[in-house]
Amino acid sequence: MLGLRRWWQRRQLLQRGWRGQRYVALDLETSGLDPKTDQVLAIGWVVIEPPLLDYQQAQYFVVQKRPDLKQSPVVHGMVTRDFAAAEDPLQALQALTEVLQGAVLVAHHVQFDWQFLLQFAKQHQVKLQPLAKFDTLTFEAQRLKQQQHHIARGSLTLTACRQRFQLPEYTAHHAYSDAVACGELFLAQAYQYAGRTNVPLAELLARCK
């Protein structure tokens, strides 16, 4: 019965207008591309309450004191000394668990980040339960297909997607700045799609499947 109640509550929340929801735009720095063998190095996020990004609730954590840099002294601009003041991974995950409660997780290629997060959380016996997930990359791909645009190689990077909405360019690749960049792109996409209407969240989510 508890599972059925949660399902019904979630269904009801998804039918509410998208502008009344809370979102968490997130980005990870990882040591590679495989969540089973590679590490989460840093996590950055910012809370979105449309039409605003709430920077007071933004967070950035370096979560590895002894990272596997795979023979390279630099990963995503991070060097060994950046990890000296790493936070306790459990502290970072607990903060993320709290902020994701009842919120929509937003990321550029959300399944990549989500698989890493699930593996990372499992290692520390933490359960992450966002209300839903929104992928700015898939949303943009669907938008371009609908407009019959040719999707060229490299046209779905975060930078390329932002350029089409005339958003400013961020040169630093950093989990926090990329989370902010993703959050801004999400707002641009959502308002471009919905205009002044407060469409149900479920309708917006359906556009990135």
Domain boundaries of the chain, sorted by first residue: 2-206
Please give the Cα distance from 80 to 124 (Å, whole number).
23
- The answer to whether the beta carbons of residues 88 and 49 sit under 8 Å apart is no
- Provide the residue type at 80 as one letter: T
What CA–CA distance (Å, rounded) separates 58 from 87? 16
Contact present, 43 and 96 (Cβ < 8 Å): yes
Residues 190 and 138 sit within 8 Å (Cβ to Cβ) = no
**2-206: which CATH topology?**
Nucleotidyltransferase; domain 5 (3.30.420)
Distance of alpha carbon 24 from alpha carbon 35, whole angstroms: 21
DSSP 71-116: T-SEETTEEGGGGTTPPPHHHHHHHHHHHHBT-EEEETTHHHHHHH
Instruction: Give CA–CA dist 99/144, Å, rounded.
Output: 32
Of the candidates 50, 57, 58, 52, which has an alpha carbon nearest to the alpha carbon of residue 21?
50
pLDDT tens sequence for the chain (209 residues): 656 778 778 889 899 999 999 999 999 999 888 999 999 999 999 999 999 999 999 999 999 887 776 655 555 667 677 787 788 999 999 999 999 999 999 999 999 999 999 999 999 999 999 999 999 999 999 999 988 777 888 899 999 999 999 999 887 678 999 999 999 999 999 999 999 899 999 999 999 98
- The three-point CA angle 25-27-33 to 5° equals 140
